[in-house]
Structure 1
Amino acid sequence: MLQFLKDYYWEILIAFNYIISISVVITILLKNINPTKTLSYIIVLVFFPFFGLVVYYFFGQEYRKNKIFGKKHILNKNVVKSINKELELTNRDIKKIDKYLDDKVKLVKLLYSSDAEPLTLKNDVKILKNGEEKFQKLIKDLRAAKHHIHMEYYIIKDDAIGTEVLNILCEKSNEGIEVKLIYDAVGSKISSKMKKKLTNSGVEHYPFMPVLFSRFTGKMNYRNHRKITIIDGKTAYVGGINIADEYLNDHQTKRFWRDTHICIKGEGVKSLQIHFLATWDFVCDKKLTVYKTFFPEVETNQNVAIQIAASGPDTDWANIMEVIFTAITTAEDYIYITTPYFVPNDQIITALQVASKSGVDVRLIIPDKSDSWVVKHASNSYLEELLKAGVKVYKYQKGFIHAKTMVIDDIFSTVGTSNMDYRSFNINFEVNAFIYDVKQSEILKSHFMEDINESKEVSYKAYLNRSKFDKLKESYCRLWSPLI
């Protein structure tokens, strides 16, 4: 028997691999998920023995249905229930909103029916362009904190800017202020020395879903891609800018990173606070007490309507994608989208095509130079479908554009963490602020036009004449697009 195993060990391993692979294929087929994704997994499992099983183990399991996350527990707490009740609009408010938003009220109703996300009306909003504006204001607000600081980030590094922020957290904790920090275990790089300093200073900090060998798992599924800061329950930050030096522009090396973040004061902060506490309850090994003091009343000078949308394996619906899809399909004048990673699903592609062919001015800005070779070529593979339908596509030239924004019809806009790709729509934890306001839309529209001036429009004729080698790279990367 031992001799037989020695003589045929490779054949036995291959047979064992395909026995498991067949059972996995049957499992995938029974899930009735997206056909493209299904086919991608089947191809990997059949043509790449052993490697295919590893890919499916890390990327193919669906946690949304398994309900392993603790959001529902938080939502059932009395304090959170009362806050959500307070944020619900009266019939009088709803009538005013209906008249003001016209067709865009569909977006409000969609998000509320999907995830009970209320529309908040009393908000001050400041749009922050690039890391310089964000960090200057964030650091000032962190130093002024009086009661608590709650932070949740995909990337935090203890480089120059990261160390400055983390040191402030330690100082505020030493002053007796409650500081809670969640950092993604894959995206963040915090040294053991800094973690020890945080602990000794009384900062409560937890990694989100730790994994072994995080250096080699940059695309591991179910990452916390959110970037949220809440200060005293009165001020909140959300957007695309993580905490690391690369998000600051270096004029000496001429490296340029274009990004967008927003600062909110008002009722919208309460919604972000609830999402933070839900995540904290999941990562923390202690029982969480939700205090009313986390949700103070805030005086505001503006009345900007904001709805916070979060999506991930803890939500029953792909909330952010659904609102973006509906916003595109209900657009009347223009749709301006900026995204660093454009690997859309069929619904978004079709919505953009139909909008453009029906006379809507549809424009898309993506990076010319990407930080991902696979995503760059996968993105390029989708451009023909858009260009043929009349969508104007621009590639940003000045540096890397990381902003995740969309503005439609001078009334609706969004700033958040979600990219225009499958991973953001279906796999990772994301959060976006949906803004219903003319002034904020005008600001984002002006930023978009400034970025157009730093971009090169993609010619449909030139695109069709690209080399066969480029087409081959695009087709290869697109094959992997449901998995990246």
Structure 2
Amino acid sequence: MNNCHHFYSWIVFIGYLLLIVNVNFKIFIKKKTNPVSNIWIFILYFIPLFGIMIWFFFSEPYLGKRKTNLLKKIWKKNLVQIKKIKYYKNFFSKKNSRVALPLFKLCKNRQGISGVTNNKLELLKNYKKVIKSLIKDISLAKKNIEMVFYIWQPGGIADEVAKALISSSKKGINCRLILDSAGSIKFFKSKWVYVMKKANIKIVEALKINVLKTFFRRIDSRQHRKVVLIDNNISYIGSMNLVDPNLFKQYCKIGQWIDLMIRVEGPIVTTIGIVYSCDWELETGKKILPKLFISKNKEISKKNYSTSMQVIASGPGYTKQIIHQSLLTAIYSAKNQLTITTPYLVPSSDLVHAICTASYRGVNVSIIIPKNNDSFMVKWASRSFFSELLKSGVKIYLFEKGLLHSKSILVDKQLSLVGTANLDMRSLWLNFEITIAIDDKKFGKKLSYLHDEYISKSKLLDPKYWFLRSYWKKIIENFFYLFSPLL
């Protein structure tokens, strides 16, 4: 009996050893950055059994090989639609500013999409104004309305948008809605699913949570985009989920969420539509052809539309590491000023190095993040980066009037990046994100004013005070830094 027990013990031990070797091998062949690889190895050996479970549930595979390969094919096919745009004059960007040129070249070469010009956009910083404008555009829609949101939470102003959408659908407008399964869980449990479907609104539950599928794809790979498309002419894009800030996560007691959205008209809507059509086909298997921006004349009036813009879309199956490379390119392009806003600051070592290097080069670098966060782990992990940033001269502002949820970067008041991507591992490597690069000094000036407004409601972190913090806080910061691949 003892020999039998001894034999099975050896079988279990050898099996466990092979499992550890297998996971380590996969970490090495993934070619992750050294800090990320080191963190994974530490987790595996520090908490062995739990560490292996974390690896399989939260590291690989991302979306599943079949879906990832399918999305790659869909993306390539839809890019063919771009060729049709070439018949329009004054469509593609022929030149860019000094600061924006490297980023626009990167996106053209890597994504196969050139920047487009002659766009008109509006910066929206007040959620009431966003909703009012959105409902108006929905009510005036003539052909189609497409939406994708990470979170749609029923209640308050969100219900007003739902009513407007239902009204348009009943008038014969083709309405499509993509909502993330995890983020919009309250929506899918509400009456609105039945009511909307009855009104002939097509609803897709993206990346549906299924216990059986956890072994085939990451359960935390999410559809994180926030986009609205109306009549192929108008688009809304930014950080705002479809929620009422007066109701959303009030139990956290951190105040209202502060968001930034842009409303855009022009050819860029076609490019955004291509991204949406890929997401739709991935989830439904049904192809919807991206619609071309419609103008009364093929030669779009430069008087009405002027801004040069570029779409940066990421996610499993899309251009690999494009968000990460775009951020690095934008930061290294800075010569005078760099301002970053993000609710979740858990950057890669490359991004930290780029930001610090910019400051050492004499660039005035400011990072604005919320003082209080809805994620306990992110709050402490973020602080592990403060010391290195402060030593290089970076100014860190802690926003005190709610949870600053805006995701934006402004370089030399000329190049703006606005969208859904946070400065964290999840947005950089995992989620479906979308960012708009804007090469326009007038818009940059408006975004700069908004950043100044954020700073006026923030407290500048004093380096002297920071470096005197207690030793136990440093331990907590470094502990949660170990889990940065999951944040």
**Same fold, TM exceeding 0.5?**
yes
Give the superposition deviation at 1:78. 8.5
2:231 alignment counterpart: 232
What SS is found at the alignment partner of 2:179? strand
1:202 alignment counterpart: 200
Q: Is the 8 A contact 2:254 2:372 kept in 1?
A: no
Q: Is the 8 A contact 1:71 1:279 kept in 2?
A: no
Residues 6-44 of structure 1 deviation map (CA, whole Å, 9 limit, x = unaligned): x99898766644432322222222222222222222222
Higher deviation after alignment, 438-447 or 157-166: 157-166
Residues 136-159 of structure 1 deviation map (CA, whole Å, 9 limit, x = unaligned): 111111122110010011111222
Counterpart check, 1:175 vs 2:171:
yes
Higher deviation after alignment, 18-27 or 371-380: 18-27
Higher deviation after alignment, 183-192 or 299-308: 299-308
Counterpart check, 1:120 vs 2:123:
no
Change (3 A) 1:152 1:20: same
Give the superposition deviation at 1:88. 9.1
Q: Is the 8 A contact 2:116 2:267 kept in 1?
A: yes
Give the superposition deviation at 1:407. 1.0
Provide the aligned C-alpha RMSD in A: 2.9
Q: 1:458 aligns with which of 448, 456, 461?
A: 461
1:257 alignment counterpart: 257
Q: 1:395 aligns with which of 393, 398, 421?
A: 398
What SS is found at the alignment partner of 2:191? helix
1:335 alignment counterpart: 338
CA distance in 2, matches of 1:65, 1:413: 33
Counterpart check, 1:137 vs 2:133:
yes
Q: 1:151 aligns with which of 142, 147, 151?
A: 147
Give the superposition deviation at 1:79. 6.8
CA distance in 1, matches of 2:246, 2:81: 34
2:267 alignment counterpart: 267
Q: 2:446 aligns with which of 439, 443, 448?
A: 443
> 1:373-452 maps to which residues of 2 (within 5 A)?
373-452=376-455
CA distance in 1, matches of 2:321, 2:103: 14
> 1:309-324 maps to which residues of 2 (within 5 A)?
309-324=312-327
What SS is found at the alignment partner of 2:24? helix
Q: Is the 8 A contact 2:343 2:370 kept in 1?
A: yes
Structure 1 letter corresponding to 2:100: K
Q: Is the 8 A contact 2:99 2:414 kept in 1?
A: no
Counterpart check, 1:162 vs 2:158:
yes
1:282 alignment counterpart: 282
CA distance in 2, matches of 1:245, 1:276: 24
Change (3 A) 1:81 1:397: closer
CA distance in 2, matches of 1:254, 1:425: 26
CA distance in 2, matches of 1:117, 1:408: 22
Higher deviation after alignment, 427-436 or 309-318: 309-318
What SS is found at the alignment partner of 2:209? coil
Give the superposition deviation at 1:270. 0.8
Q: Is the 8 A contact 2:277 2:290 kept in 1?
A: no
> 1:327-366 maps to which residues of 2 (within 5 A)?
327-366=330-369
Change (3 A) 1:34 1:77: closer
Structure 1 letter corresponding to 2:77: N
Give the superposition deviation at 1:77. 4.8
Change (3 A) 1:350 1:167: same
Give the superposition deviation at 1:291. 6.3
CA distance in 2, matches of 1:250, 1:221: 20
1:73 alignment counterpart: 74
Give the superposition deviation at 1:207. 1.2
Higher deviation after alignment, 472-481 or 78-87: 78-87
Change (3 A) 1:168 1:468: same
Change (3 A) 1:480 1:260: same
1:38 alignment counterpart: 37
Change (3 A) 1:125 1:81: closer
Give the superposition deviation at 1:361. 0.5
CA distance in 1, matches of 2:249, 2:432: 30
Q: Is the 8 A contact 2:340 2:409 kept in 1?
A: yes
Residues 385-410 of structure 1 deviation map (CA, whole Å, 9 limit, x = unaligned): 11101111110111110110111112
Change (3 A) 1:412 1:75: same
Q: Is the 8 A contact 1:238 1:261 kept in 2?
A: yes
Structure 1 letter corresponding to 2:262: I
Q: Is the 8 A contact 1:131 1:248 kept in 2?
A: no
Counterpart check, 1:476 vs 2:479:
yes
CA distance in 1, matches of 2:246, 2:339: 23
CA distance in 2, matches of 1:247, 1:297: 39
Residues 74-121 of structure 1 deviation map (CA, whole Å, 9 limit, x = unaligned): 542587243454579789x62xx25xx124211111111110222111
Matched residue count: 472
Residues 367-388 of structure 1 deviation map (CA, whole Å, 9 limit, x = unaligned): 1001111111111110111110
CA distance in 2, matches of 1:330, 1:349: 15
Q: Normalising to structure 2: TM-score of the pair?
A: 0.89
CA distance in 2, matches of 1:361, 1:268: 31
Q: Is the 8 A contact 2:149 2:223 kept in 1?
A: yes
Higher deviation after alignment, 378-387 or 159-168: 159-168
What SS is found at the alignment partner of 1:418? coil
CA distance in 2, matches of 1:8, 1:175: 73
1:193 alignment counterpart: 191
CA distance in 2, matches of 1:349, 1:88: 41
Give the superposition deviation at 1:65. 9.7
CA distance in 2, matches of 1:84, 1:12: 63
State percent identity of aligned pairs. 31
CA distance in 2, matches of 1:50, 1:20: 10
Change (3 A) 1:105 1:89: farther
